[in-house]
Amino acid sequence: MADKVSAPTTVDYLQGLLLETDDVEEFLTGFSRFAASRLFAGPQDTLCGITLLRNKHASTVASSNERARVLDELQAAFAEGPCITACEEQRTVHVADARQDERWGRYLARAAEHGVGSILAVPFALQAGARAALNVYSAEPGGFTPEDISAAEAFVAQTSQALMLSVRLAQRSDSVSDLRSAMESRTAIDIAIGIIMAQNRCTQAEAFTILKSVSSSRNTKVRDIAASVVASIGQVEPETHFDP
């Protein structure tokens, strides 16, 4: 295990990474590669991954290299493993020997087939409506000493704030996207109601009832029916002007 990283170097790197990346998955990929380069010093490839849980599901998995990606995706596919447990229970999980450990049997059996001897999973303290953990893989059983585990926990503690900021920015972006989509749907529906009112000489409430009735009979979303009404008079889908 490498010596502890200096706080300014780590903070500067992660601040730059936040500014340079466009989404949380890209940030986590850069983050996992950085963790791999800082936590190990040796001839073997360092395998690091980061799993981000949202709504109790592994929604984002980022890895330092291809081998780590395969192992992380296996864990997500089985919906069990040391990293997911570390996320859910907010505690460090250590698998000293992947072939002997009886927890998460299906996942560990597959991990051992991929040459994994031991695994270390350390949770981040996010406090942002999401949970994440760092996964570190070793080819050797007993690949993590108590000092290694302490160093990994110190690294995670040092970098949790940057990860928390990235998650919050991603959540804000998701909220803006959801709001934009809702406003675009509302615009199409309002225009369609106006068209139906003009064609049927009816009230706004009656026009909306007609729209909902067609939606129900065709088992199609109201927004899609509204878009077809707008298109029926030769108009393109209306543009919504939105400035978050």
Structure tokens at 20: 């340079």
- CA dist 171 and 208 (Å) reads 33
- H-only helix segments in the chain: 7-20, 24-39, 66-78, 82-89, 105-113, 146-200, 204-218, 222-232
Q: What's the angle, vertex CA 119, arms to CA 116 and CA 124, rounded to 5?
A: 145
pLDDT in tens, 74-89: 988 888 899 999 988 9
Q: What is the pLDDT of residue 235?
A: 59
Q: Which residues of the chain have pLDDT under 70?
A: 1-8, 11-12, 15, 18-19, 21-22, 40-45, 54-60, 127-129, 165-185, 235-244
- CA dist 115 and 120 (Å) reads 15
